[in-house]
């Protein structure tokens, strides 16, 4: 497979690296090291698939161009579009038998995959609460970027990861999230936020920040019969997965801990997954993108 990288920024450079020998050419209107300034300049015979790493405002137009020319697309998260636009993309994807895949690389974190299996195979009982925090210290980098420091800022950038992670763990799409805190400590756009889903069944709290000077990820899942916890991601390692089994009526829980210290495997694993979907002609629907778009668009309007 010959892969074209469109958007040669931080993410584009990563996609170029992990596409390996598949890499054909790069496209970027500003980066002088790119091979072409626009995707239309690239001969269609020179590539089979596209890794799309551009601002959200440009994604719809380029995706439609790729579909019209039967080029598979891996598009960096989030794919925030209107429901009708996502329906149109899905319809055209089926017509052209061409894949559009929204990339959320954290799904390929080893502890994420293990956690999903634990939830499916062990009896932890009813979920009471899910609390996730995702923070890095990129506020200054975002502020200095002409297109990043605008719109929803960290809310769309990192909250989309956490929403996708919840969906991955539980295969659920809860609605009625509320933005309970949105701060602009250093940026014009939000650089710290908290969103919450609360019902009589469960509580979901998602907190994101660009002002966490030590990069951090935490996930705490509290169940009827115990709890599961992830601390850190492989890229920031070591990453820890802890299972705690409740002791009744109360007392120190039984605990199992797994620590992983390794290089980030998610980019290569996700690219291999993308290729495998193409090979097997599997065309995921846009259900997850619709769900995430609806939540974030509603937060933006509130």
Q: State the pLDDT at residue 246.
A: 97
pLDDT of 190-225, one tens digit each? 999 999 999 888 999 999 999 999 999 999 999 999
Per-residue pLDDT of the chain (302 residues; tens, 9 = 90+): 999 999 999 999 999 999 999 999 999 999 999 999 999 999 999 999 999 999 999 999 999 999 999 999 999 999 999 999 999 999 999 999 999 999 999 999 999 999 999 999 999 999 999 999 999 999 999 998 877 888 899 999 999 999 999 999 999 999 999 999 999 999 999 999 999 999 888 999 999 999 999 999 999 999 999 999 999 999 998 999 999 999 999 999 999 999 999 999 999 999 999 999 999 999 878 899 999 999 999 987 66
- Domain 106-264 - what CATH class? alpha beta
Domain ranges of the chain: 3-103+267-280, 106-264
* CATH architecture entry for 3-103+267-280: 3-Layer(aba) Sandwich (3.40)
Round to whole Å and give the CA distance between 237 and 50. Answer: 30
The DSSP letter of residue 69 is T
Q: State the pLDDT at residue 301.
A: 65
pLDDT of 245-298, one tens digit each? 999 999 999 999 999 999 999 999 999 999 999 999 998 788 999 999 999 999
Q: Which tokens belong to 202?
A: 């469960």
In the sheet that 3-6 helps form, which strands lie side by side, from edge to edge? 23-27, 3-6, 49-52, 72-76, 100-103
Q: State the pLDDT at residue 82.
A: 92
Note the pTM of the prediction, 2 decimals.
0.95
Sign of CA pseudo-dihedral 69, 286, 167, 215: positive
Q: State the pLDDT at residue 302.
A: 62
Round to whole Å and give the CA distance between 260 and 165. Answer: 19
């Amino acid at each position: 497979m010959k892969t074209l990288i469109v958007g040669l920024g931080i993410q584009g450079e990563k996609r170029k690296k992990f596409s390996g020998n598949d890499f054909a050419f790069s496209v970027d209107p500003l980066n002088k090291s790119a091979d072409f300034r626009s995707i239309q300049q690239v001969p269609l015979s020179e590539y089979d698939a596209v890794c799309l790493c551009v601002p959200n405002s440009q994604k719809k137009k380029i995706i439609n161009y790729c579909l019209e020319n039967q080029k598979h697309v891996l598009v960096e998260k989030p794919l925030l579009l209107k429901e009708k636009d996502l329906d149109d993309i899905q319809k055209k994807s089926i017509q052209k038998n061409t894949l559009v895949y929204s990339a959320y690389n954290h799904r390929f974190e080893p502890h994420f995959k293990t956690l999903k299996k634990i939830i499916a195979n062990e009896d932890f009982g009813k979920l009471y609460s899910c609390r996730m925090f995702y923070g890095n210290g990129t506020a200054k980098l975002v502020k200095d970027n002409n297109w990043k420091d605008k719109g929803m800022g960290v809310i769309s950038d990192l909250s989309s990861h956490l929403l996708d992670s919840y969906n991955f763990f539980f295969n659920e799409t809860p609605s009625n999230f509320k933005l309970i805190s949105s701060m602009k400590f250093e940026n014009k756009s939000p650089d710290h936020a908290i969103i919450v889903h609360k019902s009589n069944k469960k509580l979901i709290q998602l907190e994101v920040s660009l002002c966490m000077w030590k990069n951090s990820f935490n996930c705490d899942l509290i169940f009827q019969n115990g709890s599961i916890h992830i601390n850190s991601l492989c890229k920031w390692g070591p990453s820890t997965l802890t299972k705690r089994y409740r002791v009744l009526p109360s007392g120190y829980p039984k605990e199992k801990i797994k620590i992983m210290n390794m290089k980030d495997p998610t980019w290569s694993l996700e690219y291999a997954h993308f290729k495998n979907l193409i090979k097997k002609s599997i065309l995921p629907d846009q259900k997850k993108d619709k769900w995430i778009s609806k939540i974030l668009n509603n937060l933006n309007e509130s």
